[in-house]
């Protein structure tokens, strides 16, 4: 298993500002994922972040809006840029474990509210 | 397109009862993995149980077991002797075996255990 922490756990932000969410893992992992979970909804994958390469974004998500960094095998950041109220969601970091079948482990999430 | 359907938006049972959450999926793949995740009010997404499609035997984890019907593309979760701590959102997820590890998620079922 992997222990994942996220900072901040929650934040309230003003429209037009940006917020960077940090994800720290207690072990080295190859693949990290960022998800968005809108209120009462299931998870939507934003992007996959591998160390040493550009993040791969899913349809509907672009790098200018959600820039991601992956400087090493234990850390990643997701920035939500130029925020609007529609960005109010829980943002979850996830990593791929090394067991079979490579199950995903999740961080506690960041609850973002945009006013 | 591959989809996961959870037809029960919300369920509630009395403590100590047994409850079954339904999940169906649609895929043309023959080899894949299925997962049940639990998300309590704390937001932490926790893996409850997983099933490899090539295994005929249903997976069990203590009070949690699945009824995997591959031909029917059904993957229900049974919780025996339910406890107050089982109150959570439950998500069914699917992943093809040769995928890039992306999970396809159901919409979730809100389970409430009443004292």
Phi then psi for A87, rounded to 5 degrees?
-85, -5
Distance CA A52, CA A43 (A): 26
Beta carbons of B43 and A109 less than 8 Å apart: yes
Alpha helices in B1-115 (DSSP H): none
Identify the pLDDT of residue A101.
64
Beta carbons of A45 and B108 less than 8 Å apart: no
Q: Tell me, yes or no, if B95 comes closer than 8 A to chain A by beta carbon.
A: yes
| Contacts B107 to A, Cβ<8 Å | 41-42
Beta carbons of B95 and A92 less than 8 Å apart: no
CA distances from A96 to A39, B102, B105 (A): 25, 10, 16
Residue A72, CA atoms < 13 Å, CB-side half-sphere: 8
What percentage of residues in chain B have a pLDDT greater than 70? 98
Distance CA B47, CA B90 (A): 10
- pLDDT in single tens digits along all 115 residues of chain A: 789 999 999 999 999 999 999 999 999 988 899 999 998 889 999 999 988 788 999 999 999 999 999 999 999 999 999 999 999 999 999 998 776 667 889 999 999 999 9
| Contacts A101 to B, Cβ<8 Å | 33, 50, 52, 95, 97
Cβ-nearest to B101 among A31, A105, A111: A31
CA-based nearest distance A109→chain B, Å: 7
Q: Count of A–B CB contacts within 8 Å?
A: 47
CA-based nearest distance B18→chain A, Å: 25
Beta carbons of A105 and B47 less than 8 Å apart: yes
What's the pLDDT tens digit per position in B13-65? 999 999 999 999 999 988 899 999 999 988 889 999 999 998 889 999 999 99
Residues near A102 by beta carbon (within 8 Å), at least 6 away in sequence: A96, B101
């Amino acid at each position: 298993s992997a222990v994942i922490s996220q900072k901040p756990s929650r934040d309230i932000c003003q429209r037009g500002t940006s917020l960077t969410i940090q994800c720290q893992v207690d072990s080295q992992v190859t693949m990290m994922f960022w998800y968005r979970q809108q209120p009462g909804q299931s998870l939507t994958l934003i992007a996959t972040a591998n160390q040493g390469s550009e993040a791969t974004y899913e349809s509907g998500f672009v790098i200018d809006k959600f820039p991601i960094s992956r400087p090493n095998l234990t850390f990643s950041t997701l920035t939500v840029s130029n925020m609007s109220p529609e960005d109010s969601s829980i943002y979850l970091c996830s990593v791929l474990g090394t067991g079979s079948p490579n199950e995903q482990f999740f961080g506690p999430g960041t609850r973002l509210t945009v006013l | 397109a591959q989809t996961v359907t959870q037809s029960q938006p919300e369920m509630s049972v009395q403590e100590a009862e047994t409850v079954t959450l339904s999940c169906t999926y649609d895929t043309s793949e023959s080899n894949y993995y299925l997962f049940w995740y639990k998300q309590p009010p704390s937001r932490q997404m926790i893996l409850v149980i997983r099933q490899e499609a090539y295994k005929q035997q249903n997976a069990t984890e203590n009070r949690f077991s699945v009824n995997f019907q591959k031909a029917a593309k059904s993957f229900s979760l049974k919780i025996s002797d339910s406890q107050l701590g089982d109150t959570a959102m439950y998500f069914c997820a699917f992943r093809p075996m040769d995928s890039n590890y992306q999970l396809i998620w159901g919409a979730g079922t809100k389970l409430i255990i009443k004292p």
